[in-house]
Amino acid sequence: MGLRVQALTGETWESLFPHAFTLMNEVRVHGGVEPFWTFGGGTVLMLRYQHRLSMDIDLFVPDPQYLGYMNPRLSPAAESITEDYVEQANYIKLKLPAGEIDVVAATNLTDAPYEIWDIMGHEVRVETAGEIIAKKLYHRGYSGTARDLFDFAVVIEADPLALEGAAPFLLKHADAFIHRLRVRPELMKEQFSRIYRREFWMDYEECLQTAEAFLAGLK
Domain boundary among 75, 99, 127: 127
Candidates 215, 175, 208, 210; CA nearest to 192 is 208
- Which of 75, 101, 127 is the C-terminal boundary of a domain? 127
Whether 3 maps to a domain, the answer reads no
Shared-domain flag, residues 134 and 193: yes
Please check whether residues 194 and 179 belong to one and the same domain: yes
The domain in which residue 69 lies consists of: 9-127
Domain total for the chain?
2
**Antiparallel, parallel or unpaired: β 99-105 and 57-61:** parallel
> Which of 107, 67, 69, 101 minimizes the C-alpha distance to 84?
101
pLDDT at 84: 98
Q: Is residue 1 part of a domain?
A: no
Question: Do residues 96 and 14 make contact, with C-beta atoms less than 8 angstroms apart?
Answer: no
Is residue 2 situated within a structural domain? no
92/28 same-domain check: yes
Predicted pLDDT of residue 1: 52
Are 105 and 203 contained in the same domain?
no
Beta bridge partners of 49: none
pLDDT, residue 6, reads 96
Q: Which of 100, 127, 154 is the last residue of a domain?
A: 127
Residues 26 and 118 occupy one common structural domain: yes
Please answer whether residues 38 and 112 qualify as being in contact, where contact means their C-beta atoms are separated by less than 8 angstroms: no
pLDDT at 37: 99
pTM for this predicted structure: 0.96
Q: Is residue 67 located within the same domain as residue 135?
A: no
Do 111 and 143 fall within a single domain? Answer: no
pLDDT given at position 210: 98
Residues 14 and 120 in one domain: yes
Helices within the chain (DSSP H only)? 12-31, 41-49, 76-81, 129-140, 146-158, 167-171, 174-183, 185-193, 204-218
CATH code of the domain containing 34: 3.30.460
* Four-residue CA torsion sign, 188, 194, 197, 202: positive
Residues 214 and 152 in one domain: yes
Q: In terms of domains, do 42 and 102 share one?
A: yes
Tens of each residue's pLDDT in the chain, 219 residues: 578 999 999 999 999 999 999 999 999 999 999 999 999 999 999 999 999 999 999 999 999 999 999 999 999 999 999 999 999 999 999 999 999 999 999 999 999 999 999 999 999 999 999 999 999 999 999 999 999 999 999 999 999 999 999 999 999 999 999 999 999 999 999 999 999 999 999 999 999 999 999 999 998
Q: Are residue 24 and residue 102 in the same domain, yes or no?
A: yes
Q: Are residues 112 and 196 in the same domain?
A: no
| Confidence (pLDDT) at 119 | 98
